[in-house]
Structure 1
Amino acid sequence: MPPNDPANRAARLNDWYRLNAAVTVLRHALTAPESGRLALVSSFGAESVVLLHMVSVIERATPVIFLDTEMLFAETLVYQQELTERLGLRDVRIVRADAAERAAEDPDATLHLRDADACCALRKSRPLARALAGFDGWITGRKRFQGGARAHMDFFEPEPATGRMKINPLAHWTQEDVRTYMEENRLPRHPLVARGYPSIGCMPCTSPVQDHEDARAGRWRGAAKTECGIHVVNGQIIRKGENA
């Protein structure tokens, strides 16, 4: 395996940082010359403020990619604006679907009712792929406790299909870690969390969750679909909770 092979580099980095704190991993990713150009992809969702705050402390000029599907809750859009200003983020890039593609594939904004996967591809996956062009890696807020394929996730993951590195600084965090960090840093919560939305996506496809339900039970409720498709590698869906 070549020394600069992404898988080899990821293994080396995971070995070096396996006992380090999330902020140390993130600081390395943002400041090490070998990292290249990185972007934080944030949904500005229920737990997003943790990584956004860390980035604001380490390097506020880090590009932050926010996917506006044009079907988000109004509360999410307001929260995004408020956090951007409060944290002093200098390069938040609001990304939307290509207008021509949207007009051709979803002219009446009902594609989600007919084919939710196609809607996510149009409004999330393809716009993100375009936004990440030119970057050497991206930072996510995925965590092991979210289950599925994430249960054994490492800090650094190679993306063979793109050659990019995916960095997951919060991989080893628990829900209590997230709660504690937010409380200790007095960070504002997404307003919908208090109304029963522990996982927040597009308005038509997200509903409140009961206390006894899984946090993602309100996403595409009643459908077999559980993923938006952003974390797909080589055709395999990588389980996604909050993507930031």
Structure 2
Amino acid sequence: MPLDGRTQTLNRRFRNHSATSVMEHALTKLDHIALVSSFGAESVVLLHMAALIDRKVPVLFIDTEMLFAETLVYQQDVAERLRLENVQVIRADRARLFEADNENLLHLHDPDACCALRKTEPLQTALRGYEGWITGRKRYQGGQRAALDFFEVERPADALPRIKVNPLAHWDTADVQDYIIENRLPRHPLVSKGYPSIGCAPCTHPVAPGEDARAGRWKGQDKDECGIHFLDGKLVRGTTAAE
């Protein structure tokens, strides 16, 4: 069955199912699938769900080499606590970094190019060996995510189409927090310091009370996505692309 028909069928089938049911189907019924995690503020939920089903699932963690030190420590801590057996640290090609950003200043004048160099390109290279991937995106995060389904078709410009699975698509903030508390999962240390959404250190700021959770990402810029997601074969970046 073509991927479009397959994802439509899966979305109808799982319309009233739980996130754990979607995750279980992804890990046991779909072939060659990986979980992509930033080990950010809410990442531990999806990682815990995966660990309960298959600790050997490939977990792709992109180290942009501009992350908070707290994120790197948290990544190791969570992987050990959940006994994840196949965490793969993905980094940009050294030659590409030297050519495009040898002074680590690209984010100051072209954040889109920096995200592409340090995050998008390395991830897409890593994903070429997989037929699908699992993300932690949720509808409540807004923008292009507001109409997320559990299952999507992604069409990268330079790779075969693949399935993208969003088990937490219908969850809200309360669902996430309840799951973390009920399962006694470790929180990212920056959450208590006002960072509800965590990316690279130069482009992530604390969020004031009442602000959107992602308001601290690329603060003051016309940008709300790093660009690792595709829409009609194109990288999605910023509000305009989302609309």
TM-score computed with the length of structure 1 as normaliser: 0.93
Please identify runs of 4+ aligned residues in structure 1 that moved more than 3 A: none
Compute the displacement of 1:225 (Å): 1.8
Q: Which moved further from structure 2: 82-91 or 205-214?
A: 205-214
Partner of 1:17: 14
Letter in 2 for 1:197: Y
Partner of 1:151: 146
Indicate yes or no: 2:39 matched with 1:40. no
1:28 match: secondary structure: helix
Partner of 1:173: 171
Partner of 1:187: 185
Compute the displacement of 1:239 (Å): 7.4
Letter in 2 for 1:141: G
Indicate yes or no: 2:119 matched with 1:124. yes
Letter in 1 for 2:170: H
Partner of 1:215: 213
Q: Structure 1 residues 239, 45: closer, same or farther in 2, change over 3 A?
A: farther
Partner of 2:228: 230
Tell me if structure 1 keeps the 8 A contact 2:227–2:235. no
* Deviations 1:26-66, CA, capped at 9 Å, x for gaps: 1011111xx11110000000000000001110000000000
TM-score computed with the length of structure 2 as normaliser: 0.94
In structure 1, runs of 5+ residues without a counterpart are: none
Letter in 1 for 2:108: L
1:93 match: secondary structure: strand
Query: What is the Cα-based RMSD across aligned positions, in Å?
Result: 1.3
Partner of 2:49: 54
> After the TM superposition, which residues 86-165 of structure 1 pair with which residues of structure 2 at under 5 Å, given as runs?
86-161=81-156, 162-165=160-163
Determine which structure has greater relative contact order: mean sequence separation of CA pairs < 8 Å that are 6+ residues apart, divided by chain length: 1
* Deviations 1:147-175, CA, capped at 9 Å, x for gaps: 12222211000113431000000111111
Q: Structure 1 residues 238, 102: closer, same or farther in 2, change over 3 A?
A: closer
2:34 match: secondary structure: strand
2:221 match: secondary structure: coil
Q: Structure 1 residues 178, 15: closer, same or farther in 2, change over 3 A?
A: same
In structure 2, runs of 5+ residues without a counterpart are: none
In structure 2, how many angstroms separate the alpha carbons of the residues matched to 1:239 and 1:41?
Answer: 21
In structure 2, how many angstroms separate the alpha carbons of the residues matched to 1:31 and 1:118?
Answer: 36
Tell me if structure 1 keeps the 8 A contact 2:224–2:237. no
Tell me if structure 2 keeps the 8 A contact 1:150–1:238. no
Letter in 1 for 2:17: N
In structure 2, how many angstroms separate the alpha carbons of the residues matched to 1:199 and 1:239?
Answer: 16
Compute the displacement of 1:235 (Å): 2.1
1:166 match: secondary structure: strand
